[in-house]
A and B are shown apart, each in its own frame.
Chain A
């Protein structure tokens, strides 16, 4: 449902407009955001610099030499006036992410189990029995914020972030889940690891995940994890 004051355009510097479509996180937002991004690519063409979709918004960055904030606003208003949601099938590529859930790769598994009053097995089951949507990419290249988690798995971030989270780590925080593309500091709860490359400069399109994609985690054992190129260290 779109609240009555939305959509609206907010100034984001002299080369940007923030298009605010929604005020809460819903999976259906993605159909609208995907459609909006596509229309912007068509309408702005060469004057478009970047599009940054996130849960409820699309940041449109344009070239302030080739166009003006006023022209850009008019173009966006025209797009919004005739915007239709993308077809369900038109967006949302499905990715299967093999994941080795184990206290070794998921040092927070037992803590999460304790917090949610579940067994470790039930935590794993609850995490991989759902299909998630990618709501936003950010924090690091290729890092997808996915949701929504089963309510029972909702847990806070770590009080003190880890200095080094291994690449491929599958993690949860709040109502969201993610996989770390590269080694970075991180404050999410680690519950497993995937051998799949999530971000690679040589990968077609660089990032495996895009906003609007769907992700399913597939439990595998250590042998399969290593067979697929995973690094257990």
Chain B
């Protein structure tokens, strides 16, 4: 099922003084339709957060089931509640759009597009490391072993590691997990931080 990133309505675009006059102050946002994640479900386009997409069982576009489960397990190890917040759906969506539309922190970490290549290589490296350390894929490890592997990966201390550097995999996936758990309006609320948007993200994303 195709996933699509909605762009801001061109009709609603504002420029210069007109924009200032209309936007003016916080909480007085007129006409600014923020982008959101749009999932196509049963032929209808539905805007929802990654967590909602996970809860509704929206199929992945690019990831296979094992890759999705591994990203969820890694995300949950890095930041509690990342699984439920839809880290795998978030990443799957973001690697399926053109790199210039992607919202991944991979951009900031100077990861070279296509970003899907980085995540596939990272998952492969994590499973390879997991099998070397514990004889099983990452998803099959108990939480204590998952934490040990992530801690070793963070410090580039897994022998025979292949693929993107472990510390980079740790930093990028941790950033993704922070995004879905703490980067949303709900995440701010959970920490008791006033969000104070000028132009709020649609669907609180």
Question: Do chains A and B stick together as partners?
Answer: no
Query: Interface residues, chain A, CB within 8 Å of chain B?
Result: none
Query: Interface residues, chain B, CB within 8 Å of chain A?
Result: none
